[in-house]
Amino acid sequence: MKIGKQTYKINSKPCIFATSSIVGPKEMQGPLANYFELHINDVFFDEKTFEKAESKMLESCIRNLLVKTGTNEQDIDVIFSGDLLNQCISSGFAIRSFDTPFLGLYGACSTFVEGLVLSSMLIESGMFKQVIASASSHFCSAERQFRLPLEHGNQKSTTAQSTATASGAALVTNRSLSDNGIHITHVTPGKIIDLGVTDISNMGAAMAPAAFNTIAQHLTDTGRDINYYDAIITGDLGTHGSDMLAELFKKEGIDITQKHKDCGVLIYDENTQDVNCGGSGCGCIASVFSGYFFNELKAKNLNKILLVATGALMSPLSSSQGESIPSIAHAVAIENEV
């Protein structure tokens, strides 16, 4: 049911029944290491290229989700996935190994939540019973595609973020099939916001206005204030973008700092790990939600969260043609039924 301008209440409250996460060695040196289910010790993951390694991570992540829930891949109605690589090859090659229909998404780093938005709305339709939403990224494949080959050893801008080597996947189910009390209750698909930022080393600044727009619209549509939620979780604004988001809310008279968490800030230790403004990449929010926050929901340390993924919809080519960075943010409200 549509409420307000841009938000949908999901009456059937689909369940996020289980999640799976896999990360690389650098993420295992970060503060959330204990929460990730799988990890690789080498960024090549026994493959010859970074791209094949990324694809294998995503495949392993989804396979793990199926195995641990005892779910047959043929019983999954559809797998949603996307990634940052040109033509989303990480997803295409990972998912060809499953005997499951596939719907490919491109939302840059907003992909995982875009998948949750579609999964919950399609389960609400009654047609889908269980769906997987997933996404991945890999530091090394992203660096050489978007920036410069690692071998160059270039210095990073202080506002830059570091693409996480990570995949995450969530099994979303109709509650008649399986239910653990963790439900998607509302979704707010975002609009593209572009305030003219052109610095591709400052994605946080480009994406913060999109996050603000979607969160503010969600709160207006639902009639909630930020205190309704135990946490408002973005992925990934980094430290600089998070400051900008706080500033935007401050102008509206709202202090979001006590509620706001950013997956890009959480995944690394900014004091000991060389990541400038924090993590980014489709796999960052996918793995941090699937690893850390899902665990916090299960443990009832958090009971009501708004999960907001932000994506920067540029390419190296659009930037070289002088274009700014169009950004988007999609939100899902996830609540423990007490």
Q: Which residues bind a second copy (CB under 8 A)?
A: 1-2, 5-6, 8, 48-49, 51-52, 74, 77-78, 82, 84-89, 91-93, 95-96, 98-108, 114, 117-118, 121-122, 124-129, 189-194, 313-318, 321, 323, 326, 328, 330
- Residues 303, 333 contacting (CB under 8 angstroms): no
**Which element (helix H / strand E) includes 52?**
helix 50-69
Cα–Cα dist 108/105, whole Å: 9
Minimum CB–partner distance for residue 68 and a second copy (Å): 23
Minimum CB–partner distance for residue 6 and a second copy (Å): 6
Cα–Cα dist 234/227, whole Å: 16
Minimum CB–partner distance for residue 270 and a second copy (Å): 27
- Tell me the one-letter amino acid at 328: I
30 vs 190, beta carbon nearer a second copy: 190
80 vs 268, beta carbon nearer a second copy: 80
Q: Which two tokens stand for residue 169?
A: 């996947």
Residue 45, SS3? coil
59 vs 230, beta carbon nearer a second copy: 59
85 vs 302, beta carbon nearer a second copy: 85
Whether a cis peptide bond, with omega within 30° of 0, leads into 179 is no
Minimum CB–partner distance for residue 102 and a second copy (Å): 5
Cα–Cα dist 323/316, whole Å: 10
85 vs 308, beta carbon nearer a second copy: 85
Minimum CB–partner distance for residue 212 and a second copy (Å): 16
Minimum CB–partner distance for residue 273 and a second copy (Å): 27
Cα–Cα dist 204/213, whole Å: 14
Cα–Cα dist 149/146, whole Å: 9
DSSP designation for 180:
-
Cα–Cα distances (Å) from 7 to 16, 83, 165, in that order, read 19, 25, 32
End-to-end CA distance of the chain: 23
37 vs 124, beta carbon nearer a second copy: 124
Minimum CB–partner distance for residue 197 and a second copy (Å): 13
86 vs 198, beta carbon nearer a second copy: 86
Q: Which two tokens stand for residue 312?
A: 């920067």
